[in-house]
Structure 1
C-alpha cells in the first residue's frame, strides 16, 4: 500500500477528493445543500487540479486536445446545471484512473531505480602515496586505482590488479555461483566483492560503463512507445475534437427534435461528453507496454523501445550467429581415441602435464577433459613449444608430441587414425598425441552448442518461425553444429558484409526477422535486421547497434521475450476491444436515457481503471517456457 502513495501526489489528492464527496453526501442527506455544494466544489478542485493542469499544459504547449479537457468540461457542465455531486464524482473517478496510471508508470520504472542503487556513489581511491581517500564515483578517471573492501560493490568497470578475487555477478549474469577472477580480468561496476579487499584499476569512464549503458537502454525504452500506443496517441486529438463538435450537435437534437427540455438535453450532453471520452482507449497500450518493458528488464532483457517488444512476437524468421551465441564459444573434447595396448593413464598424464603450460583454448579443453583422471604432480621434461604446431617433451623414457597432424603424425602411420578423417569431415578439430613418432591417441574437439540451444530452436520452429544459423566458420563445422541444434538452414563462410546482405535478403523473403549475435562481425547484421538481439557477454559494439540485449546470456530469454511480446499483444487487444465496447454501450444507453451521469462516470472511468490494471498484469514474471506445444 505504501508504494501506491509514495511519490504519487495525485493519488493523495484523489483520496482527499473521495473523502470530501463522502462528507458532502452526509450533508446532502441532512438537507444542508449549500454546505454540501461547497464541499463538492472543494472535492472538485482538489481532485481535478492535477488532471486539469496537465490537460491545459498539453493543449497549450503541444497544440493538441486530450481527454483531460473533455472530463473537465463535462464536470463543469454538470455543476452548471446543479449536479454538484455528479460533477465531483466524475472528477474523483477520473482522478483515480489518472493516479493509477501514475502508479503503473512508477511501478514499471522501478527497474531503473533498482539498477541505479547497485552502483555505489562513493569509491575508495588509492592515492600516489598509498593512502586511501573516499571520493565520488563520478569523479573517477581511467587509470585510477581503487580499493574495494569485502562485501562492498565495485563502483565502476575496472581491471583486477590483485592476484585473484571472487565476485558476485548475479546482477549482470543471473548466475548464483560467484565468478572467480585473476589479475588482468575485467570486473564490472555494481557487482560485489565477496572475499578480502581487492585492488582494481578503472578501465572505463563512468558514462561508458556497462551499468550506464543498461540505464540508458531502459530509460530510452520507457520513453519510446510501441506502435500501437503511438497510433492511439495520434488519433486522440482528432477524436477529442470530434466529440467536442458532436456533443453540442446532439444537445441541439435532444432539445429541438426530441423535445426533451433544456436541462435534460444539456444533462444528456454532459453524459455523452463523459462516456464518449476515449480515456480507456488511450490507456489501453501505454501502461501495458511500460509494464512489459520493466518485466523484461528485471529478467535481464533490455528492449530499447516498446515497438521492438511489441513486434518480437510477430517475427517470421530468427537468425543466429554460431560462436558464442548457439555455442559456448570455446572448444570441448567430444571424442577421444587411445591406441590398443598403450598405457591410457600414462598418455593422459603426459597430455595434461604438457597442455597445462599453455593458455591456448584447445590446451585448456584437453586439460579440462582429463584433469580429474590425471596425476596432477606429473612433470614432463625438456618441454618445447612450436608455436602454431604443438608441444613436445620427454616422459616415461620416450619423446612425446601433441599437436596438429603435420607435426605429430609420421608418414607411415597405421590405420589407427582412420577415424580422424571422419571427425574432420564433421568439422571437428583433431589433436594428435605421438610417442616416439607413433600416434598413441587423438582427440576430436568442437565448439559445442549450449545446453539450451536445441530446445530454444525447437521452440521457435514449433511457433512457425524459420530458424537460420549464420557463421563465418567453415561449412563442415557449421553443418555439424546446425544439425545438433536443429536449425532449418545453415549459411557458412560468411564475412561481416555478407552477413548483412543475407539478412537483407531474408527480410525480403520473410518480412519481420530477428538476428541474434555477440561479436563485432555481427554488428552489420544486427543493424540491418528488423530486430537485432545482442548477447550480453558480447562486444560493446554489438550491444550498441542491437535493439535488444540479453544481459544473462541465456538463450531461454529469447523464448521468454517471444512469449512476453505475445502476452503484450493479447492484453493490448483485450484492452482496445473492451474500451471501444464500453464506449459504444454507454453511448447507446445514454440515447435511451437508461443511465445517469454517475453511472456513466462509473462505467467509463471504471473501464479505464480496468484496462490499466489489466496492463499491470504484465509486471508479473512467468517462467520462460521452451514447451514446443505452446502457441
Structure 2
C-alpha cells in the first residue's frame, strides 16, 4: 500500500472520528452518567461476590466519571462566587457516604445527580436549539450581479447597494428590497407566520426567508451584520441569558440555604449522639442523609429550565421576549393601552362608502375621481385610486387641466366639465351638509373622513374613508377581556372618531385627542389605578410610552426599530398573539409554582422522615434526585405549542 493511500485512509479515519466526537459532544454528560451507572452495577456484582477491593475500585471510577462534570462546575462556581452551592453539597454527601462504608449509596447519589445534570443540560440545549436552527437558516453564499456577470461570494462580502439574484426555492441571504421581479416569500423564520406573503418591486425582504416562486433581483439595504435576522438571534440569546426576578431570588436563597444546611449537618454529627443516645455510626449516617435530602437541587432547577423553554416557545411563534423579567411580568398585567394607527387599525385609510346624488352613476363618479386623484400623492387620494382599481375594470381618464388647491382639494377639467374634489368647505358647506339627508354628519359620527366630488357646481357624490380596524382586532380584544384585562385606546383622533373605533374594536375605553407626549401621562395614571400596565404600539413613535409601561409590546412587522424599543416584540402584526404571550407567561408561572411547591414538599418530607429514622440513604438519594428530574421534565412541557 502506497504512503499516499495510507495518508488518505488515516485522514479519512481522523475526519470520521472527529465527526463522531462532534455529534457525541452535546450528549457527553448523559454518556458519562450512563457509563457511571454501568460501573455501579459492576461494582455491586463484585461486592456480592466478595471482591471488595475490585468493587471499591470500580465505584471510585464510577464516582470520577459520573461526578466530574458537576464537581468541576461546583468547584469553579464556588471559587468564582466565593460561596458554596448545591453541587458542593452533593460532593460532600458522596464523600461522607464512602467514609462510613456506603459505597453503593454514594455511587448511586452521584449517578442520579449526574443524570439530573444531564437532563438540565438537555433542557438548555433544547431551548437554544431554536436559535441554532435560526442561525443555520441564513445562507453563507450569495449570487451577486456585477456588470451583467454573476459571481458567488460569501454573504459577509455583500455591501449596501449590491444587487443579488435569488432563484426559486433559495433563502434570501441579506436584507434588501426587490429591484426586479415578483414572488411569494415564506417569512416563517422572521414572523412565525406559516402563510407565504406576496412581494413585488420595492417591497422589503429579509435574510433567512425563502423565495418560493419566481427569480428576483434584490438590492442590498443593510450589511449582513445588521440584518433583522441577526438582531432577532442576538435578542433571543440575550433574553435567555437574562435572569428573571424569581431566578435571581432562588440563586441568592441558595447560597444562604447551603450554609444553613451545612451548619445543621455539622451539629447533627454530634448532638443526636449526646441528646438522643444514637450511636456514632447512626449519627453520622443520619447527617449524611440530611446532607442529601435537604439539598435544594429541585428548587434550584424549578425556574431556569421553565423560563428558557417559554422564551424558546415564544421565539418559534414570532413572539420575542427581551428577558425572563418581561415574560414573568406579562402574567401580572391588569390593563393594556393600545396605540390606534397601525396597531388596532391598518394604518392607512380605505374607502368605506360612496353615496352618489340622484341620477348619478356612482361608478362613473368614482372613475373620474380616481382619474384626477391618480395625479396626487395624498394618502386619501391614494386610497381612492386603490379602491377604484379594485372595483372598476376601466382605464383612467386623463384630465385636460388640473389645479391643486393646498389645504382644500383639487380642481380639474375633463371633457369641458369642471370637477372639484375635496373637503366640505371646498364645495360649499351648506350644500355639503344638506347632501343626501345629512350623510356628512352621519359619516362623521362614525369616525369617517368625507371627501366630496362636485361636477359643475353640483355635488355629484361623497366618498367616505376610514383607517379600518384590523380583522383580528376584535378577536384579540375579546380574548384579553376574557383574561380579565382592561383595554383602552390612546389616539390623537377626535372624540367622534375615537368613540367609533373603540366601539368597533370592543375596547373598554378610549382617550381621544391624545398627543404623543400626553400618552406617557395617561400611562402613569393607568399604572396608579391598575398597577401593572402594558403599552402596545408600532415601536417607532411610541418609544416613550413603551418605556413608561411595565411591559412595552411592539408590533414588529419586520421592523428592526421595534426590537430596540420594546420589551416584547410581535414579529407579525397579529394582535391575538398578545393573548398567546400572556397565556404562555401564565403557563410558565404556574409550572414554576408547581415546581417550587413540589420540591419544597419533598425536601420537608424527607427531612422529617430522616429525623424520625424512617428513611434510609438509598431511598433518600432516589427520592431527592428523582424530584429534580421530575421538575425539569415538568418545565420541558413549555416547549410544546
Specify if TM > 0.5. yes
Say if 2:274 is the partner of 1:232.
no
For 1:253, the equivalent position in structure 2 comes to 271
Residue 387 to residue 172, structure 1, CA distance change in 2 (3 Å): farther
- Alignment check: 8 A CA contact 1:409 1:434 kept: no
Say if 2:588 is the partner of 1:599.
no
For 2:141, the equivalent position in structure 1 comes to 122
For 1:167, the equivalent position in structure 2 comes to 185
Aligned match for 2:126, one of 73, 83, 107: 107
Say if 2:583 is the partner of 1:571.
no
Measured against aligned partners, the alpha-carbon deviations of 1:456-482 in whole angstroms (never above 9, x if no partner) come to 223323333222211223332222111
- Alignment check: 8 A CA contact 1:495 1:521 kept: no
Residue 260 to residue 536, structure 1, CA distance change in 2 (3 Å): same
- Alignment check: 8 A CA contact 1:5 1:11 kept: no
Measured against aligned partners, the alpha-carbon deviations of 1:139-170 in whole angstroms (never above 9, x if no partner) come to 33322332223321221111222254443323
- Alignment check: 8 A CA contact 1:100 1:612 kept: yes
Measured against aligned partners, the alpha-carbon deviations of 1:105-130 in whole angstroms (never above 9, x if no partner) come to 11111121122122212222333x44
Q: Which moved more, 1:437-446 or 1:158-167?
A: 158-167
- Alignment check: 8 A CA contact 1:48 1:95 kept: yes
Alignment partners' CA distance in 2, 1:337 and 1:6: 72
Aligned match for 1:327, one of 342, 345, 351: 345
Q: 1:300: Cα distance to partner?
A: 0.6
For 1:586, the equivalent position in structure 2 comes to 606
Residue 217 to residue 77, structure 1, CA distance change in 2 (3 Å): same
Tell me, what secondary structure is at the counterpart of 1:615?
A: helix
For 1:533, the equivalent position in structure 2 comes to 553
- Alignment check: 8 A CA contact 1:517 1:542 kept: no
Alignment partners' CA distance in 1, 2:190 and 2:401: 41
Q: Which moved more, 1:52-61 or 1:17-26?
A: 17-26
Say if 2:533 is the partner of 1:522.
no
Residue 96 to residue 183, structure 1, CA distance change in 2 (3 Å): same
Alignment partners' CA distance in 1, 2:617 and 2:470: 61
Measured against aligned partners, the alpha-carbon deviations of 1:19-49 in whole angstroms (never above 9, x if no partner) come to 1122222223333333222222111110000
- Alignment check: 8 A CA contact 1:516 1:533 kept: yes
For 2:70, the equivalent position in structure 1 comes to 51
**How do 1:65-84 and structure 2 match up within 5 A?**
65-84=84-103
Q: 1:444: Cα distance to partner?
A: 1.6
Q: Which moved more, 1:364-373 or 1:252-261?
A: 364-373
Say if 2:26 is the partner of 1:7.
yes
Residue 459 to residue 385, structure 1, CA distance change in 2 (3 Å): farther
Say if 2:327 is the partner of 1:309.
yes
Alignment partners' CA distance in 2, 1:108 and 1:525: 31
Tell me, what secondary structure is at the counterpart of 2:26?
A: coil
RMSD of aligned residue pairs (Cα, Å): 2.4
Q: 1:306: Cα distance to partner?
A: 0.4
Aligned match for 1:195, one of 213, 216, 223: 213
Q: Which moved more, 1:458-467 or 1:299-308?
A: 458-467
For 1:362, the equivalent position in structure 2 comes to 380
Gap runs ≥5 in structure 1:
622-631
Alignment partners' CA distance in 2, 1:261 and 1:175: 68
**TM-score of the two chains, using structure 2 as the length reference:** 0.91
For 1:92, the equivalent position in structure 2 comes to 111
Q: 1:311: Cα distance to partner?
A: 1.0
- Alignment check: 8 A CA contact 2:240 2:323 kept: yes
- Alignment check: 8 A CA contact 1:522 1:542 kept: no
- Alignment check: 8 A CA contact 1:535 1:543 kept: no
Q: Which moved more, 1:378-387 or 1:309-318?
A: 378-387
- Alignment check: 8 A CA contact 2:182 2:214 kept: no
Alignment partners' CA distance in 2, 1:507 and 1:70: 44
Q: 1:217: Cα distance to partner?
A: 1.3
For 1:338, the equivalent position in structure 2 comes to 356
For 1:274, the equivalent position in structure 2 comes to 292
Aligned match for 2:452, one of 432, 449, 461: 432
Measured against aligned partners, the alpha-carbon deviations of 1:3-34 in whole angstroms (never above 9, x if no partner) come to 99661311111111111122222223333333
- Alignment check: 8 A CA contact 2:185 2:199 kept: yes
Q: 1:343: Cα distance to partner?
A: 2.5
For 2:8, the equivalent position in structure 1 comes to none
Q: Which moved more, 1:508-517 or 1:558-567?
A: 508-517
Alignment partners' CA distance in 2, 1:364 and 1:353: 11
Alignment partners' CA distance in 2, 1:101 and 1:92: 14
- Alignment check: 8 A CA contact 1:519 1:538 kept: no
